[in-house]
Amino acid sequence: MGCRGVNFFGAESLQNPSPHDILGRVGVPIAVLGAGSFGTCLSVLCGRENDVRLWARSPDTAKAIETERRNPRYLTDLRIPGRITATSDLAEAVDNAGFIIAALPSHALRAVMEEAAPHMTPDSIVISTSKGIEFETGMLMHQVLEDVLPDAQRSRITCLSGPSFAREVAQRKPTVVTVACEDEEHAMAVQAKLSCPWFRCYSTDDIVGVEVGGALKNVIAIAVGMSDGMGLGLNARAALMTRGLAEVTRLAMELGGRLETLGGLSGMGDLLLTCTGDLSRNRQVGLGLGLGRPLEEVTAEIGEVAEGVRTTRAACRLAERVGVELPIAEMVRRVLAGDASPAEAGRALMTRQLGREYDPNRL
């Protein structure tokens, strides 16, 4: 194990790593799996000082990136530097990569990583940016990775989460996120690799708290969007965000997360951004529903995955299994399923049985 020190950003990092440590593997490329908005911006972030292989599912997308140095579908105005090689060959992308960033929709994570696993270097650090809950199993994203990756890889599974719109990262606007791993040494390696003057990472070992915060904030953002779309006002917005955070916290702690994590970047921070920022796809879904538009029409217009739509159903199912109440998430689920209108869901929330704001038996 290498010695720890303080880096330029004031956070602990690894220094003088042992030969087997990833940070000591000079010239080893980084793989970014997924050429959506976040994968594209992270490849550019990493491509400042590293060779990067960006995997796109579509061969046409990979070819366009290689020849035009632009992503033809996402962040189309972002120039992609020459150190980034685009490929649709998954084995080629992960071969000998020191860091593998899985910037994939949550529903695609299992299948892609199962295919990638046989071609990965055993000491690669895997970084998931997927935010969701697998419906069929109730697994968080790091648990899905644990399920499909070899035993030797499991301690190296990390997740990156926090208030981070891809477009603003691409524009080099200041962004601060959290990197989590049960073995925090690996989170710190990711922290040291990705941090730069406009992208700052904090580390933690509470991967459950970080992932639940990242997944459920999308559900609450749909609720806030519906409220705003109906013109219910700023009081209602604040109430939904605050009580929404209580729901996120209840589920996270029931699953083993820590209270302080939900008050941090991947909890309250990401919730604030996703509920109020107009770049939020989940907020846009809610706004459309609040205006009375059909879900299919709204999601088609957005053109990218709004994770909250899938996560809502999975979160409600998981919460029921572990005995946690998520009244806001449940109302969002009913609206998405067509079982209630946004107005009916709002009335149901406002007329629930009265209770204490803080109940220690529920947290």
SS (H, E, C) 167-188: HHHHCCCCEEEEEECCCHHHHH
243 vs 207: CA distance, rounded Å: 23
Is the torsion defined by CA of 105, 195, 159, 256 positive or negative?
Answer: negative
Torsional class of 61: left (φ above 0), alpha (ψ -120 to 50), beta (otherwise): alpha
Per DSSP (E only), the strands in the chain are 3-6, 12-15, 30-33, 52-55, 84-87, 99-102, 125-128, 157-161, 175-180, 199-204
Query: Which CATH class name applies to 209-362?
Result: mainly alpha
Catalytically active residues, by annotation: 217
Mean pLDDT for the stretch of residues 3-25: 38
DSSP 78: P
What residue has token string 């644990």?
A: 146
What is the distance, to the nearest Å, from the Cα of residue 70 to the centroid of all Cα atoms in its chain? 23
Tell me phi and psi for residue 182, to 5 degrees. -60, -35
Q: In the Cβ-directed half-sphere of 127, how many Cα atoms lie within 13 Å?
A: 31
Per DSSP (E only), the strands in 186-303 are 199-204
26 vs 48: CA distance, rounded Å: 15
Give the residue, 260 or 9, on which the prediction is more confident.
Answer: 260
Q: pLDDT category, 303, cuts 50, 70, 90?
A: confident
What residue has token string 């990092």?
A: 13
What pLDDT does residue 43 have?
A: 97
- Asked if domains 3-205 and 209-362 share a fold, the reply is no
Residues 190, 160 contacting (CB under 8 angstroms): yes
What is the distance, to the nearest Å, from the Cα of residue 186 to the centroid of all Cα atoms in its chain? 18
Biggest CA–CA distance in the chain, Å, is 62
pTM of this prediction exceeds 0.85: yes
pLDDT in tens, 132-185: 999 999 999 999 999 999 998 899 999 999 999 999 999 999 999 999 999 999
**Where are the chain's structural domains?**
3-205, 209-362
pLDDT in tens, 179-234: 999 999 999 999 999 999 999 999 999 999 999 999 999 999 999 999 999 999 99
Distances (CA, A) of 303 to 68, 72, 284, 297: 22, 13, 11, 10
Residues 33, 101 contacting (CB under 8 angstroms): yes
256 vs 251: CA distance, rounded Å: 9
Q: What angle do CA 320, 219, 270 make, to 5 degrees?
A: 120
Residues 33, 96 contacting (CB under 8 angstroms): no
Mean predicted lDDT score pLDDT of the chain = 91
Query: Which CATH class name applies to 3-205?
Result: alpha beta
What residue has token string 């995997």?
A: 55
Bridge pairing between strands 30-33 and 52-55: parallel
pLDDT in tens, 35-92: 999 999 999 999 998 999 999 999 999 999 999 999 999 999 999 999 999 999 999 9
Determine the angle formed by the axes of helices 37-46 and 184-194, rounding to 10 degrees.
80
